[in-house]
Structure 1
């Protein structure tokens, strides 16, 4: 009998190869991809939390406040959270039905077209990989709060080394590290929410009960690009594009499904928490930012300018604390911001390597990338992923804020395209279920209001990805700037080329609903779950972890 975190293996399964079973090597459950099922309920929940809450919620959200004001920011974040909740409703049903690694990428091939899966996989890999230098550049920016002569190149090198250490060893080590790093994010966000409530009621050195003052002066809705009602609508669009960059999360759960213990139970619980996560962290976070600092604050606009110069107090919360004359708390907040940003980059490193490995397993990347270590780490995928963090050295010459803005523009379209892909995939999955007579009531997770929910998500995500760079087409003194246009739309063109190229070379065909593979790896997953006891609940798992450390 071998024990694992959160569950007990009652007998060893035979090695994969002669049948559909998963293998048990040294007490570690290994699936068909060579990845190991070692991530417990506690680790999955905190990893997805760590990946979904990063720099954008604490720093980059300031761009949305400057562009649209607190009213537009709150409306935009609420609206976009509902859109991504609809996407979560789709991907949750598919992933709990067949919890495999790189699941939404594989589903795109299984239910739509192999070329569609090829495009989805490479888009997601590039998106995740480019986010790693984004987080490192953001880390450099917040570090300048303490001093402006920090050797940025040295910071980049140290962070890259730490990401390598956390990701190259056993998967559960990564999960454990991410659990504690994400715990720091929870502490930070709760602290900032409390700071907002206490200070707006007068609990600050100035004894100023400012309440919703900044909603009245300078106002709830800022003008952007033009003036008047049109300018305020464009301000809302600015806030919406910030929300599109900030609000995410379902894709991380689907990526780790193949490495979760008792996945149908664990992954289902993780998807269910996404809804309250959106409500508490993103919507309330947008409300708090609009309360503590005005959208026309000079420090805020200066620090987040494209020049990259400023005090280094990049977070609107830290700027608010300084405006109120609060001591010590800004330093504590900035220190927790450092761990939060590091945690997000760590999660991106993990997901990028797993998405590349998923492509190799699908035959959509070189075969040598399938190689994993004895403990399930896709070593060559990891090494290729670690090339991308070196893009963070761009911030050494161009300034961190400028590098961050450039990277945001480059990958925001890629992020929203992930949700377009998930929505299309679910629509095809739903049609396949209907054509093949599957009873959706028997699913581990049945999405509500389907397939209409998927169509709604597809409609709005498609519009957002198409209009995010609309300002480059407006008349201006500089005219049409080709470079700016490509920072917004490069990934769209890349996806089109990937899809068309693979379809032409491989001569793939769209999957007919009645021929879609709704079996896949389900037999091996069913047998694995039948062999294991149910996983511990989230808080039971946390309590057990704390007891073991004592």
Structure 2
């Protein structure tokens, strides 16, 4: 018995909206033209039809997709976490770790690009795993990924309150959590294009700040600060690599591997382009360009910033060693400014941190709700999670995802913080399992194309070096997932072991329970669903209905 026998999935319907100004689309190899009010009105007509059918609407442009992914990736982990990474492994190890994980991210993004342009669906990861690999895998990946975003919403709300307390310790964090919860829950009930615009502006502030720091750091390294020209001084003293937990060469490798795992978490969120593909205008054009722009934008921002940080902040700086703070005082960007004699930067960085976590909160609800939609479409969640209002907003999916943000109030109780931290440990491994399943799904996707006689050259977007790219990404994502808690084996702690691996245990439990209950076979490539949700078929349907 399959899950879909219980909750029968129906095809995901999408409007075939295009960018404003486009008057026609290519259908069946010929251009179907529509005169009069042009592409903008066509887009509105298609969205109106989607609203009548109770479906998501294609209102996100390429720039919206870019900034949704950037907003989900660049957060407090980047602004604060890079300091602890520098301490663990030193400047060279830190830089190599982030560059290496950038190559793993690239493998995931190009695999996602091929599938998301051919079948652009909301919450793509679980859908692709279900259709091409295994129903139970899609179930486990989808629910774990949703739970990760839902609990991260609570983290973002808590972090926003703590950051505001940097300016006023007397502010009640519970009131701040309540206010932000209401604001960002309401925002996610607005039409998706409004969400996209808000996310674009919030993310722009982070990008501008990083760009400003890059210019600042170049000047400091060149000698504009009070320490004179720095160059690669800190790569020699205290050294290019640090030892971590154990001494000698093994200790240096341990530091490198620990930071690589940290970098993998820092890069998570870039895959949100795949979540937004189901609401993107003309996904065959916007999704590939957004994937390329997102990957290169995030990689360059991360790598260049970290490279310059290693030049202007030594890995043994006393402020880095005391990284328990959750506000701007723990940021290596602020430490760099303080060493250079610039005193105004902490307040600016704290304000940017606030926009970072608010942007993340915005993305958390959006991403989690769309994953629920995908699960419902595949028959792995109740059908009510597919229901949308006239603006194409999945009302019940947003409500359930947003409700998990109330877990932020756990931090106000004496023992709630420990429970909350256990829940949040799920998010890191959930991202890695999603990346791994994306690479595995791509291998199965290509196998299904071959079995059904569809050449890869027919895909709207074709990446290079396949299937080696997918194999590379799958191998390292699985390896990192299995070893992400390896430090507990060096300094054993039962509590830390379960904290590190609770998400992996949950993933296996979800997969096994679904497999045992429904007894679903692995997907036969000859019968894999390569039709439902295909954008060219949606265009043909819309054209036949007179929508375009």
TM-score range, shorter-chain basis? 0.7 to 0.9
Alignment of 1:72-87 (within 5 A): 72-87=93-108
1:485-525 CA distance string (max 9 Å, x none): 12211111111111111122122111111111222222533
Cα pair 2:157 2:180 within 8 Å, conserved: yes
Report the counterpart of residue 174 of structure 2 in structure 1.
153
List per-residue Cα deviations over 1:171-197 (Å, max 9, x = no partner). Answer: 111111111111111111101111111
8 Å CA contact 1:109–1:115 kept in 2: the answer is: yes
Q: Hey, what does 1:275 align to over in structure 2?
A: 295
In the superposition, the TM-score normalised over structure 1's length comes to: 0.87
Deviations 1:86-130 (A, max 9, x none): 111111101111112222221111101111111121011012112
Unaligned runs of 5+ in 2: 1-15, 25-31, 35-42
Deviation at 1:418, TM superposition (A): 0.8
Structure 1 residues 255-294: Cα deviation after superposition (integer angstroms, max 9, x where no partner) = 1111111111111111121331243112112212322322
| CA–CA distance in structure 1, aligned partners of residues 49 and 191 of structure 2 | 11
Change (3 A) 1:23 1:120: farther
Structure 1: 5+ residue stretches without partners: 14-21, 533-550
Q: Give the counterpart of 1:113 among 134, 149, 159.
A: 134
Give the whole-Å Cα distance in 1 for the aligned partners of 2:52 and 2:91.
48
Q: CA deviation at 1:229?
A: 0.8
1:192-207 matches, cutoff 5 A: 192-204=213-225, 206=226
Query: Paired residue for 1:291?
Result: 311
| C-alpha spacing 1:147/1:433, structure 2 compared with 1 (3 Å) | same
Is 2:375 the counterpart of 1:390? no
TM-score (norm 2): 0.87
C-alpha contact 2:447 2:525 (8 A) present in aligned 1: yes
Pair 1:26–1:120, CA change in 2 (3 A): closer
Partner of 1:18 in structure 2?
none
Paired residue total: 514
Map residues 20-169 of structure 1 onto 2, 5 A cutoff.
24=45, 27=48, 29=50, 34-169=55-190
Change (3 A) 1:414 1:26: closer
CA contact (8 A) 2:141 2:430 kept: no
**Shift of residue 217, structure 1, vs aligned partner:** 1.9
RMSD across aligned positions (CA): 2.9
Q: Compared with structure 1, are the counterparts of its residues 6 and 404 closer, same or farther at alpha carbon in structure 2 (3 Å cutoff)?
A: farther
Given the superposition, is the C-alpha separation of residues 187 and 407 from structure 1 closer, same or farther in structure 2, using an over 3 Å criterion? farther
What's the CA shift string for 1:318-373, capped at 9, x where partnerless?
12212332132322222122112211221111100111121122211122222211
SS of match in other structure, 1:515? coil
**Other structure's SS at 2:315 match:** coil
Q: 1:226-245 residue pairs with structure 2 within 5 A?
A: 226-245=246-265
The 1:24–1:123 alpha-carbon spacing in structure 2 relative to 1, beyond 3 Å, is: farther
Distance in 2 between residues matched to 1:38 and 1:398, nearest whole Å? 44
2:538 matched residue in structure 1: 525
Shift in Å, 1:79: 0.4
